[in-house]
Amino acid sequence: MLSASAKVWHASSMTTAIRALAVHETAHAVVGHLLGATILNVTLNAKLRDGTTVIAQGFAPQKWGESVLMALAGGTAQRMVEPGRSMLDDPHHPDWANDTEKAEMLYSSRVGVIGTEGASDVEEDRLFAELECAAHRATAAALCTSELWLIIEAVADRLINNCCRLSGEELARTTDAMPTERARVALKAAACSLNNYRPNT
């Protein structure tokens, strides 16, 4: 009896974990697609709790906000289906660790662009933290758009039902079959706010 219940619990917890992973990876891909990136494919490796989104090429340097949104979308979306979860709870989630590293590189590169010349290390640390906060706020605000969330859920279901692999064409077809206008507007506004972000002085 105990073992049967344990098995049921295990199965349901695995399903939840795979779904959360699918939402994470799909969020990267859908956000990238709606912001104009060419997605080549999205895959999940449920066993390793890892996923990949391959894009034809990254965004141009002046589209810094777009790069940040795509990097943070996975973790932000995953937290929405697994409240309380963070990369710190799950250090063996390689994709999430890569996302964090990528986001940190993006903040550092931006500090180099908008930081005042000759600024102290303390000032640069403050700017880095400010950019990090602004990026997380903008990503969470965009992902709260119900239309965007419906797209992410539909594509995540398709990814799971398609043996954990979607081509870029399938991703684009599934996304573009749904209403996308509000989601695009929300994402472009978030990217624009980040690209025009100036630190407090």
When asked if residue 99 is in the footprint of Zn ion (CB under 5 A), the reply is yes
Tokens of 78: 């995953």
Tell the smallest beta-carbon distance from residue 75 to Zn ion (Å). 6
When asked if residue 95 is in the footprint of Zn ion (CB under 5 A), the reply is yes
Q: Which long-range contacts (CB under 8 A, 24 or more apart) does 48-52 make?
A: 48/94, 49/17, 49/21, 49/90, 49/92, 49/93, 49/94, 50/21, 50/93, 50/94, 50/95, 51/21, 51/22, 51/24, 51/25, 51/95, 52/25, 52/95
Tell the smallest beta-carbon distance from residue 139 to Zn ion (Å). 12
Residues 51-90 that bind Zn ion (CB under 5 A): 74
Tell the smallest beta-carbon distance from residue 15 to Zn ion (Å). 20
Tell the smallest beta-carbon distance from residue 51 to Zn ion (Å). 7
When asked if residue 32 is in the footprint of Zn ion (CB under 5 A), the reply is no
* Part of the chain binding Zn ion (CB under 5 A), chosen from 81-89, 99-107, 153-161, 179-187: 99-107
Angle between helix axes 181-195 and 121-143 (nearest 10 degrees) is: 170
Question: Which residues are near Zn ion by CB under 5 A?
Answer: 74, 95, 99
